[in-house]
Structure formats: structure tokens, C-alpha cells
Amino acid sequence: CLGITDFGSDTPVGKDHLMMQYAKDNQVVMFNLSGNRAPTIKRGYDRKRLVRKVWNWFLFPKIINNIIVVYPVRFPFIGSKFFDILNNGILYLYLAYYKSKYYSKSPIIFSLSPFYFGAIKRIKPKKIIYYVSDAYGMFSGIKEITFNEYERKFISQCDGVITVSELLFNKMQRYNKNVIKIFVLPSFFAAGNNI
């Protein structure tokens, strides 16, 4: 699983819960990577996360909830051709290492970012799944046109796409025929149910 939020330090999100379920019967390696957008020094949250990310580069992998958590080096210069090549080269080395260490066959890659595709395609995975939990291209700090271009290319190469809303489901269906949506219906909450 190639994430955009940190498993084991941030509040668990959708992909964390999915991977914890998957880890009950499968070997899961979680790559805690930088996100889809470049950080800004002006934002306190970004500064703290940037320091934490750099610090994490020096940590050994650890096991959390039966998941091996890895902290790959990744430079947060999104959309730069030089850094795309550098980042994907580094990520490929990590993926190739863990593929040889834990898998006899090609792994299933579960990615939350289209920016990882350069590394993903080089290890020839069995399946590529794109998990879309938000309209990432609309986030501040992201060049929407650049992101959408990367995303369209990535989606067309994926074996499947998981979305969490009707809006995202409809958008992703334009580029991939194997799209599913997982979300809680409003009637679930109206019935007084709690998660």
C-alpha cells in the first residue's frame, strides 16, 4: 500500500482500515510516503509534517497491527520532471526490495496517488488498485491540471479503482471500467446508527 497519510501516527483513515482487514490473511507492507501536494513553509501543519517525514527517513521499518510500515525517502516537489524521475527511482528500489523479500509472485499494489506510477509499473505487479478518498486535484498546493493529467493516465493503467462517493465514482468511470464505490448511505445515519 502506497499511502499519502502516515499509517501509525495519524488518525486511521479508510485505507488504514482496509489494510488492517487485509493483513489478517495477507502480508501487507505500508509505504508512508509524502502526499499529493507540495508542502508550504507558511503552514504550521506542513512544517511539522515535513520535519517528521525527514526524521522518518532514518527509522527502521516497524510492525504495527501486523503491517510492516516503511518510510521511503521522497522529495516533496510534485510535478517536477527531475524529482518525479528521482522519486520514482528511489521508490522502485524500495518496492523491488520488499517484493523480493516477501513475495514469490508479483504483489498487488494499492496506491493512493497517481504520482507513484513510474515506480509501480517497473516492478510489474499482479494488480494495481487506485483508492480515491477525495478529489485530490482540488486541494490547495496542488496544480490541478498537472494532477488530473497524471491521474487520467494512472487510472487507465489500473486494474481497478475504489471510490468513497457517488461523485468520485462517476468521475473515475470515465477512465476505467472496473470502479466500485464504498460509502455509508445517509439512511444508515438517519436510522440512528453509530460507527
Q: Give the tens place of pLDDT for each residue, 35-81.
A: 555 656 666 655 666 566 666 667 778 898 889 999 888 887 777 78
Beta strands, E only, 23-150: 28-31, 62-64, 67-70, 108-111, 127-132
Mean pLDDT of 7-14: 76
Could you give the percent of the chain with pLDDT greater than 70?
A: 75
Across residues 152-169, what is the average pLDDT?
93
Give the pLDDT of residue 92.
95
H or E element at residue 161: strand 160-163
- Rounded CA separation 159/152 (Å): 13
Rounded to whole angstroms, the Cα distance separating 73 from 67 reads 19
Q: What is the mean pLDDT of the chain?
A: 81
- Taking CA atoms, 68 is separated from 26, 61, 170, in Å, by 11, 7, 34
Is the model's pLDDT at 12 over the cut of 50?
yes
